[in-house]
Amino acid sequence: MIVTTANSAFEPPNADSHEAEKNNFVEARRPNNDPRDQGQRGGKQARQNQPRRDKRDVHGWVVLDKPIGMTSTQAVAVVKRLFQAKRAGHAGTLDPLASGGLPIALGEATKTVPFVMDGRKRYRFTVAWGEERDTDDTEGRAVKTNELRPSAETIQELLPRFTGLIEQIPPQYSAIKVQGERAYDLARDGETVDLKPRPVEIHELTLVEQPDSSHSVFEAECGKGTYVRALARDIGRLLGCYGHICALRRTLVGPFGEKDMIPLEQLEALCDRAASGEGSLADALLPVETALDDIPALAVTRADAARLHRGQAVLLRGRDAPNSSGTVYVTVAGRLLALAEIGNGELIPKRVFNLNGLTASPARNNESV
């Protein structure tokens, strides 16, 4: 929904980001006598001798088709390096053994991450029957086994019990904090953690195919906080045959679907072409406001935009003034300006955007309309 009060242009003044930059990438530690450090004055000194690339302001979303074997933190670090971006973060962890959509926010897009994380997610996953593992996926060790194999009809009968608002106990190997420590760290130390059931919502759960008696393929659409690994574990327990995830792919995160995903190899190739002047990294970016797809937009005048940019509230008046309340994203001349709240006849800015730097190309902006 777009409510227009004016269409005059407004360019906010240049502003450098004052937010502390977070380095999300944890490098693997090497022993002091690693042969890769031979002939150098230590690994740290070698890195200091390398030329430093200047970081820049980059604003937008990259929806990486994350490959299997890469952690979400590593994926953020790679994309941040490719764009030489000052700030980056992701909107929802994806396990190393999983592939698919990992939305990565660059620059001012990091301010919209909660709107993506709160959105629905869709997964396609394969369950291997006959073993329950301590990690609930192929990385763990078997803790329960059974020779029983379920029929498609038996599985179908159970699915309604896992649809809607349900209680779910997270996996032992999860990022949930227990007395200040991550559950997976405690589990790796051999501790059994008493994790409490949590309410999660599963909007849709479908048996897609059963390629053989030991494997079943599902699709699930679920809300924030749902663990697909726990879903496979609990279905296996009810069936009496046990089970664990052996393949997992995320196909939807909030407004981002498979059509928005870009494989890492393709992104690296685009970066190489851009470095040689044959393309632009802007072609890989989606606009910051793509994350705000479900939020009404409100266009304002140049004068009102200037007030909002200074953090001042704006009175809403006139016949075109919206009579609703709640969160809106504010634009001026089609350019994202702020996230704001409407209440008591006022527009109150909550987050102001400074989109000076590299942003999505005009073609990608048109795709998001």
**Looking at residue 191, what is its pLDDT?**
82
C-alpha–C-alpha distance, residues 104 and 25, integer Å: 14
Q: Which residue has the higher pLDDT, 278 or 266?
A: 266
**Looking at residue 9, what is its pLDDT?**
35
Q: Beta strand pairing status for 326-332 and 297-299?
A: parallel
Q: How many CA atoms lie within 13 A of 54 on its CB side?
A: 2
Question: Residue 367: which pLDDT band, with cuts at 50, 70 and 90?
Answer: low
**Looking at residue 1, what is its pLDDT?**
35
Both tokens of 43, joined, read 């690994």
Both tokens of 81, joined, read 């390096």
Q: Indicate the angle between helix axes 264-275 and 72-83, nearest 10 degrees.
A: 20
Both tokens of 177, joined, read 């904090």
Both tokens of 365, joined, read 């902006």
Question: Where in the chain is CATH 2.30.130.10?
Answer: 293-352
Cβ neighbour number for residue 26 with a 10 Å cutoff: 10
Looking at residues 47-73, what average pLDDT do you find? 84
Looking at residues 59-67, what average pLDDT do you find? 97
Q: Which of these is catalytic: 16, 34, 54, 95?
A: 95
Beta bridge mates, 209? 217
The domain made up of 293-352 is a member of CATH 1.10.3720.10: no
Helices (H), the chain: 42-49, 72-83, 113-117, 152-158, 183-188, 228-239, 264-275, 302-309, 362-367
Q: Residue 27 pLDDT > 50, yes or no?
A: no
C-alpha–C-alpha distance, residues 213 and 274, integer Å: 49
Using a pLDDT cut of 90, give the percent of the chain over it: 66
Q: Which residue has the higher pLDDT, 182 or 120?
A: 120
Question: Residue 261: which pLDDT band, with cuts at 50, 70 and 90?
Answer: very high
Q: Residue 10 pLDDT > 70, yes or no?
A: no
DSSP class of 91: S
Q: Which of 112-126, 280-294, 305-319 has the lowest mean pLDDT?
A: 305-319
99-124: string of b/e by CB count within 10 Å (b at 16+)?
bbbbbbbbbbbbbbbebbbebbbbbb
C-alpha–C-alpha distance, residues 29 and 189, integer Å: 20
DSSP string, 22-35: P----PPP--TT-G
**pLDDT tens digits along 30-49:** 334 443 344 344 444 544 55
Domain spanning 121-253, CATH architecture: 2-Layer Sandwich (3.30)
Q: Residue 24 pLDDT > 50, yes or no?
A: no
Question: Where in the chain is CATH 3.30.2350.10?
Answer: 121-253
**Looking at residue 278, what is its pLDDT?**
86
Question: Residue 319: which pLDDT band, with cuts at 50, 70 and 90?
Answer: low
Residue type, 282: A
Question: Residue 366: which pLDDT band, with cuts at 50, 70 and 90?
Answer: low
DSSP class of 277: T
C-alpha–C-alpha distance, residues 301 and 40, integer Å: 60
Both tokens of 189, joined, read 């130390």
Cβ neighbour number for residue 244 with a 10 Å cutoff: 25
| Length, in residues, of the chain | 369
**Looking at residue 363, what is its pLDDT?**
58
Q: Average pLDDT of the chain?
A: 84
Q: Residue 7 pLDDT > 70, yes or no?
A: no
Q: What is the dihedral of CA 80, 84, 86, 91, to 10 degrees?
A: -20
DSSP three-state, residue 147: coil
DSSP class of 355: -
Query: Strand (E) positions, the chain?
Result: 2-4, 60-66, 88-90, 99-106, 121-129, 131-133, 142-145, 164-168, 177-178, 181-182, 198-212, 215-222, 243-253, 256-257, 261-263, 297-299, 314-315, 326-332, 335-343, 346-352
Name the one residue in this structure whose structure tokens are 């000052």.
Answer: 86
Q: What is the pTM of this model?
A: 0.80
DSSP three-state, residue 357: coil
95 a catalytic residue: yes
Instruction: Please choose, from the candidates 93, 85, 89, the residue with its C-alpha nearest in 3D space to the C-alpha of residue 111.
Output: 89
